[in-house]
Structure 1
Amino acid sequence: MAVALYARVSTTKQADKDLSIPDQLRQMRDWSKRNGYSVAKEYVEPGASATDDRRPEFQQMISDSTLKPSPYEAIIVHSLSRFFRDSLQFALYERQLKKSGVKLISITQQTSDDAGGEMARKIFSMFDEYQSKETGKHTLRALKENARQGFFNGSKPPFGYKTEELDLPAAKGKKKRLVIDEAEAPTVRRIFELYYSGLNGCEMGCLQIAANLDEHGVKRRGAKWTRNRVQQLLGDAAYMGDYVFNKKDMQAQQIKPEEEWVRVSIDPIIDKQVFLAVAQRRHDRSPAVTPARVVSTPTLLTGLLRCDNCGAGMTTATGKGGRYQYYKCNTRIGRGAGACCTPAVPMQKMDDLVLAAFADKVLTPERLRAMLQEMKQHLKQAASGQDETLRTLKKELVELETATNRLYEAVEKGLLPMDDTLKGRAQKLKARREALLIEVAGTNRMKELPVTMLSARQLDTFGTALRARVLDRTAGFSKRYLREFVSEIRFDGKRIVMRGKKAVLLAAAAQKEMGTTRVPRSEPNWLLNLGSNQGPTD
């Protein structure tokens, strides 16, 4: 009878250093020879868990065994745990093999083909699954403690980092920790810079950054950069020094509850403020918040300009076979000229007026100083209530975390069933906790606004520099800075009304480099009426 041999160990480390696979193969070959079986093929799986079927050699073996006719009549394993450690999956694959006329034989756990033998295999499989889960539980507990002590558990460090081995006398074996890889770290910094600041005044998304790196021959450990890889890197908090272990359930491919995470402090490659600014920009530019056309289009006012009569957005339209470009109300475009009274306006004329108004009426020393005075007064009035607000929020957060922990403890002890009602309650608690964390972070940021330390001289210098950049249409910075500080522009046919964020503008002025960070909104209207601007119409 022709047979196939299947040998497996759980990790590549075992495969490299262990003698298990050679020993499994030797014993199976000897057993097959003693029983008069000829070995048709050998399948060796180095470094694959038996708790799932994501194993290339295993899948190849199953595929080969279902061929008509099958190249062998039985699959030989050392023990049934080499085949599967999940009792349900074990039964499903064994049934699939039986349909193809292929037996599964263990040389150390031999059973008969009758009902008693089938029961014995099921018992063996259940014990293998139990042992696997128990081993996994204890292994994870040890790995979490290792992470809490600041050590690295993984095999591949994040791009930009490398592992450094520490020979600790009191520890068994060697420990590893993450340190900055000075050869890769500049690429990480460049990716964050390109995403936040763009290139030559043009914004860049993850795909454009990947293409730029590829164009300059910058590789990701020998491989090309892709949009997904850039996106993952920009969202990894490890780069601001906050590495998280045990965040994801790799089998279920789901994020675990945050209370199971283990945070490890490492040396940051990216300043925390820069990382948070990029995170905010990623959120602002996501399709759910801002349509992709608004981000990618070269048109200056797309996404900002709205009709003040009907509230619809104003988008580009052409005339005379495309020779002329206009901003036109979407209501007029979709329902005809009689649906809205706001006329179309030449694009170049509107762009020039908006930029001139922003530069001449907002970025003047007098206007900026007045905004600074208003902001300081606002912060002074708000300061008295912020401490009390923080205390209230933190108190509720502690109570919420206590309630959540008690809920999980009750489930773990078997006092409550984890049914749909309880899952719904847990989701509500989690959602409220996330909302509280956002409120706490927002209140803390308001307390840390740098505008109180801003001098009149700094403000004047900032206004002059920003004014020059906004009015320089050739450099490509106009759209970026306009979108940074202006939240909405309304046009009713005769008058332009702009609204922006005082805190964002003043906080940018307080940074050493313009645009280093973003600060949440405060006092939304810094320009209610342009006064001398009587509109772009003739």
Structure 2
Amino acid sequence: EIIKKFNAEGYKTRAGREWTNTVLYYMLTNETYTGMTVFNGYRYWDSKGGKEQKAIRVEGTHEALVTREQFEKARQVLKERGFTVTHPRAVASDYLLSCILYCGLCNAKMLGTTAKGGQFVYYGCQNYLKKGRQACAAGLVGRDRLEGAVIDTLKDDVLTDANLTELVHLINEEANLSRGTSAKRLGETDTQLKALNGRLDKLYVALETGHVDMADLGPRIKALRAQIETAEARKREISAEETTPLKFGGTQVRRAVEDMRELLSDGTTLERKSRIRGWLSRIEVDTKRGGTVYYKMPPWIQKAMGRPTTGGPGRSVLSIDQIGCVHTSWGLD
């Protein structure tokens, strides 16, 4: 309400900008207004007190605008009723969807935030968190519920036996198509071998006729033999590809599905985040209607999933029932 009133009446910050929750919270937690000067301090108060211990405080350096009691009371209220907005980079170990989660109403990024002294953890629209409901009407979405919905969607839409079996089939098709170029590669290798053997024969002739000493030809003969061996090994590999069947059975498919499902559920945060970002390019959450998950997998993988490969990225829809109810935050409206 304070921010809304300031902005409605045209008040600006010292930098000439509109008021935001961040600016107001900084003022309410800045000890300078109590007549104290802080050295080696931090701009933002840490509710756990970890950062406060490093600061050096000198009281009475200038006139106080508020009493110490008023300051401490305001800070305690913020701690009990307020929220903490956290930049995605600072919560890399806690928020799986940071950097790919966007507000479906205003297209701003959604940030991690906690309320009630850290008892509740949410994702919230950046504009809503910093400027209030007048900037964006979105609410807060429970972190665990939303992340669980996204993971369940990946399991249901991507990590299925049927999808991976079809994926293996497509991989085999791609591999078999690539084998069609084997004849060309074999021909190129044969041509190279013919040229190398011809050069080697000329050196042997020169050696037999006595026109060149062995000391001069030895290194060149050795180098040519090495090139011939390399070309022959490449020829054997190409021939083996032609005759070796590609096999990936149902048991292997099911094991791969189970392993990836287990990783999404029980892997480390870094592993889970890496996998999610490998499959998804963007998640949009409209807190009144649900959400949309956008895939960034190659078209041939989306084909295996039965997703459209033209007209934009493949996507899945999240319902309100999946992401949970929307919460209004404390002190933002």
Would you say same fold, with TM above 0.5? no
Higher relative contact order (CA 8 A, sep 6+): 2
The TM-score with structure 2 as length reference comes to: 0.40
